[in-house]
Structure 1
């Protein structure tokens, strides 16, 4: 019996050896250079074209069913961006392996970016222990939103300052082609966005929001910011497979989406030439000139689906401009633009955070948006009485123009601005609206967290939301 056991053991060891030989395939890569990881991370982070956000932000409507984003009845979102954070963590590891500091610096920006993206969706989320599986942390704790913002702002500040001192070459950069000055501008401009998102917390947090804002704005040499559209944080598409505009050949966009009525009416009232770049003429206006504002129409975002369907069939609604689905390049996707920065500075002036008047920033933001759409004759529009600020504190006009400028771009930024300020007003008075006529304030946590990480999840819910995990609960950011 012992003899057979010995023979069996030897055969088993031999078999294990062969399996290990197969696992250690010399032709399979086990390491990847940080520049390749940077390219992957960039193309994910800068891809901010979202039809769902456009529906929630009352820019588009949908007619092939009761869409949860249009009618404000969404429920849960996912933690998919933690996969993106894992890529950032991998880039850090590989840059350490190759003794390259510059990718670790850029990782600070991307870590902050994804942390902010996640927390403004849900509220408190895992952050400090978010990607700790490699060191045995499979059930990460949830960090408080205030601490996430404070940590992200510190990381952004450090990244900008460290990048200015770094002498390495950035390879694999499809956004700025290795231009560190432009990366500094993005980091600091994005920091101003993050600080403005805390506008409701100026007197309720230890974060020196206004002080940090002015530190950046008043020290351009140390903290450079965007100076023109050429600094836009843009992902430029090319006509190559997997690199085309994400809505290219989207059949649903061609058949089921229409412009939203209040958005179209706003552009008509302003006689805003951007309407001609965003929308197609409504079918029953074929005899009208393309630059006739009356040739356009939309569907009311909160109206019953049947009403919108009938109006669309009757030819009263404009579809989106065909370039959005038939041009493989179309326009760049933007993480943050110079126009957005100018509106942020205009809002800061309106709030009294900075001493300058808001109008120059406001007009500069509009001009930058017009230039983005290739509209060179901006003077007439900028002098239009309907778009002038009513006062230096006119937040509504500033946020409304910002909402127009971010049409179908920059992800959910327009929605989050409206959630924070109430401007522009999103209609909820139509007969089709769900969620008791309320605009949701957040998304519920993923269902699998209640299975995989219930203790930490429940602790986070209980400390934030007395009424439980629901879409109308107010997170710290907007409470």
Structure 2
């Protein structure tokens, strides 16, 4: 496996740099002249999943617990019980614009129309859409068309309507996919596919499918047309097509994005999140074999030692024999609901009486290694989206809704083995699950999107977006006396930096939604 070569690209205010010497009076101040666009693409690829600040605040603290998959640790309570902490809501906006967005916009502009960089330009366009989609899905209307350009008049860019942004996304993906040509410039250093052009085409088309289905509520006719076009252009067809970043097995920090950012978020704390009953019950109620592979109990170090989490002893079998798997209550802390049991026998033959924290099931730690891959789009997601689109719209996408559903479930179970020492779900286990869980008339979309909720584990942004789009699984809000909202938030609020420095434009965007509140809905989330 090719290692990530660490690239540090400073966040440059390209448009605000003044002339320091007479010699640069003829230099275009809206463009970088020295950065390699391929390096800028690679930086954005690694930054997306490797940035600890974004993954920790947005994904681990907020979205994973909000989606009632894992919670219980103190820092996960912000999303679990809807404690509004502005700096966590702002982190992605404040960090992404001056880093990956700035580099991608610059790279696209400097490769546009360059004969020997047509593939690189197409890849940068695709990555730009992917990165902006994460932002607009979370915040709604955002700076897009003027963002990152840095020219006079756009240092404080206007906010664009999400509808217009999405229309441009779909156009860009269609054009970029068509632009990719295996006979043109190679881009062997990029991290997703090492320059494999057919794979990039499938990635662009699969991303188009994902974003097209977001329009199901607001513009179903456009959604259907774009879904059909994406399918015709060519989507993922196996787990070999998965778009992932293969991270490095080194300690993470806020300055080094080579390790997996969500893994670092999970492991650097003094306590780890535990499985929530909502997620555990979704597995056990369908006899999902993943419950035996994803959910584990460990004998914890005392005190907890996150840097040694892989050394903990797996005591799942002993705990299941004594008390079974007891998931956490949504909104509860690890310290709540103290569990007790009698002594168990460890692997070395010694007796050990587990503490309550040992008895509370958590995620298989092999999915949380520093070198764990981050899945951007999987074949499982593509098949489940095709199942949704087939069921919802009656489109002909190469199979029935159940055909796509079965393929998606199988792929989701199989791709767990791509993690280091990851679990292997057997063919027998998969076939038994499919036989026992066919689509049920009237519940098809619920079943399909519940499987997406499971398959998207550790990708909090996409889990959150698909839950808002589909409405499934049905999650019961879990407010407590600490909560600011009594319902699950529907978006993130704009940062203070925008309200102070881009006041007129952000206020115009706020007027459209009424108030800048996290219970408001983004455009595509409205009926």
Relative to the length of structure 2, the TM-score reads 0.76
The structure whose Rg is larger is 1
CA distance in 2, matches of 1:345, 1:380: 23
Is 1:142 aligned to residue 159 of structure 2?
Answer: yes
2:206 to 189, 211, 216: 189
Task: Kindly state the Cα deviation for residue 124 of structure 1 after the two structures are TM-superposed.
Answer: 0.9
Counterpart contact for 1:35–1:171, Cα < 8 Å = no
Question: Counterpart of 2:81?
Answer: 71
Question: Counterpart of 1:366?
Answer: 409
> For residues 353 and 85 of structure 1, do their structure 2 counterparts lie closer, same or farther at Cα, with a shift above 3 Å needed?
farther
Question: Counterpart of 2:292?
Answer: 276
Question: Counterpart of 1:338?
Answer: 379
1:352 to 393, 396, 412: 393
**What is the CA deviation profile of residues 186-227 of structure 1, one whole-angstrom value per residue up to 9, with x for unaligned ones?**
000110000111111135xxx72211211222x2xxx12101
Report which stretch shifted further, 141-150 or 107-116: 107-116
Q: CA RMSD in A?
A: 3.2
Counterpart contact for 2:72–2:332, Cα < 8 Å = no
Is 1:85 aligned to residue 85 of structure 2?
Answer: no
Question: Counterpart of 1:244?
Answer: 259
Question: Counterpart of 1:469?
Answer: 516
Report which stretch shifted further, 67-76 or 109-118: 67-76
Question: Counterpart of 2:477?
Answer: 428
> For residues 158 and 115 of structure 1, do their structure 2 counterparts lie closer, same or farther at Cα, with a shift above 3 Å needed?
same
> For residues 208 and 120 of structure 1, do their structure 2 counterparts lie closer, same or farther at Cα, with a shift above 3 Å needed?
same
**Gaps in structure 1 of 5+ consecutive residues:** 1-18, 24-28
Question: Counterpart of 2:492?
Answer: 443
Counterpart contact for 2:49–2:260, Cα < 8 Å = no
**What is the CA deviation profile of residues 136-184 of structure 1, one whole-angstrom value per residue up to 9, with x for unaligned ones?**
4222111111111001100000000011476111132121011000000
Task: Kindly state the Cα deviation for residue 431 of structure 1 after the two structures are TM-superposed.
Answer: 4.4
> For residues 352 and 137 of structure 1, do their structure 2 counterparts lie closer, same or farther at Cα, with a shift above 3 Å needed?
closer
Question: Counterpart of 1:40?
Answer: 43
Task: Kindly state the Cα deviation for residue 379 of structure 1 after the two structures are TM-superposed.
Answer: 3.8
> For residues 166 and 34 of structure 1, do their structure 2 counterparts lie closer, same or farther at Cα, with a shift above 3 Å needed?
farther
**Gaps in structure 2 of 5+ consecutive residues:** 1-19, 25-31, 301-313, 341-354, 418-423
Report which stretch shifted further, 266-275 or 148-157: 266-275
Task: Kindly state the Cα deviation for residue 389 of structure 1 after the two structures are TM-superposed.
Answer: 1.1
CA distance in 1, matches of 2:375, 2:281: 25
Counterpart contact for 2:191–2:245, Cα < 8 Å = yes
CA distance in 2, matches of 1:56, 1:402: 16
CA distance in 1, matches of 2:211, 2:511: 26
CA distance in 2, matches of 1:250, 1:120: 24
1:59 to 65, 69, 77: 69
State the SS of the aligned residue for 2:230: helix
CA distance in 1, matches of 2:416, 2:74: 29
Counterpart contact for 1:303–1:433, Cα < 8 Å = no
1:391 to 441, 458, 466: 441
Task: Kindly state the Cα deviation for residue 401 of structure 1 after the two structures are TM-superposed.
Answer: 1.0
Question: Counterpart of 2:145?
Answer: 128
Q: How many residues align?
A: 445
> For residues 252 and 62 of structure 1, do their structure 2 counterparts lie closer, same or farther at Cα, with a shift above 3 Å needed?
farther
CA distance in 2, matches of 1:271, 1:69: 28
Is 1:111 aligned to residue 128 of structure 2?
Answer: yes
1:296 to 317, 321, 325: 325
Is 1:400 aligned to residue 417 of structure 2?
Answer: no
Is 1:211 aligned to residue 225 of structure 2?
Answer: yes
Question: Counterpart of 1:16?
Answer: none
> For residues 292 and 89 of structure 1, do their structure 2 counterparts lie closer, same or farther at Cα, with a shift above 3 Å needed?
farther
Counterpart contact for 1:258–1:298, Cα < 8 Å = yes
Counterpart contact for 1:283–1:317, Cα < 8 Å = no
> For residues 293 and 230 of structure 1, do their structure 2 counterparts lie closer, same or farther at Cα, with a shift above 3 Å needed?
farther
Report which stretch shifted further, 88-97 or 280-289: 280-289
Task: Kindly state the Cα deviation for residue 20 of structure 1 after the two structures are TM-superposed.
Answer: 5.4
CA distance in 2, matches of 1:136, 1:70: 41
Task: Kindly state the Cα deviation for residue 55 of structure 1 after the two structures are TM-superposed.
Answer: 1.3
Is 1:258 aligned to residue 308 of structure 2?
Answer: no
> For residues 286 and 39 of structure 1, do their structure 2 counterparts lie closer, same or farther at Cα, with a shift above 3 Å needed?
closer
State the SS of the aligned residue for 2:126: helix
